[in-house]
Amino acid sequence: MSDSTQSRDRGGRRAKRFLSPQQKYEAFVQVLTGEMTVAQCADHWRVDRATIMKAREVAKRGALEALAASRPGVRSDGVDPELLMARDEIGRLSEALKEMAVKVTLLEGKERWG
């Protein structure tokens, strides 16, 4: 794109243009995959090269934080279905054991103390 077709501010600089998160991600992927250089990508999106570099850094930092937070075998929502099933089973078995204790006490009778 030539300089004459780009909008300029009063100082002759390129007017600020803001990219949406989706556009930033697309620019990041274009540079990451080698589809475009940083300069080509900046020209394509009509932004400064620093904007593309900043989007790259933010995406890299976000990806590293997300990978550091994820652990194999741990669900991100904190709910483990096996744990829930085990707790239900413990509750069911506890109730069954109480019922059996009452039946044994009634059938065998209770010895007098004393």
For 10-53, write each residue's pLDDT tens digit.
Answer: 777 766 788 999 999 999 999 999 999 999 999 999 999 999 99
pTM: 0.52
Going by pLDDT thresholds of 50, 70 and 90, the confidence category of residue 74 is low
Residues 17 and 40 in one domain: yes
Q: What DSSP letter does each residue of 60-98 carry, written as one string?
A: HHHHHHHHHH--TT--TTS--HHHHHHHHHHHHHHHHHH
Domain that holds residue 96: 80-114
| Residues 14, 61 within the same domain | yes
DSSP annotation of 7 reads -
Query: How many domains in the chain?
Result: 2
Q: Are 86 and 64 within one domain?
A: no
Same domain for 12 and 47, yes or no, is yes
| pLDDT score of 76 more than 80 | no
Give the pLDDT of residue 14: 62
Do 86 and 67 share a structural domain?
no
Judgement on whether residues 24 and 65 belong to the same structural domain of the protein: yes
**Structure tokens belonging to residue 35:** 């589809």
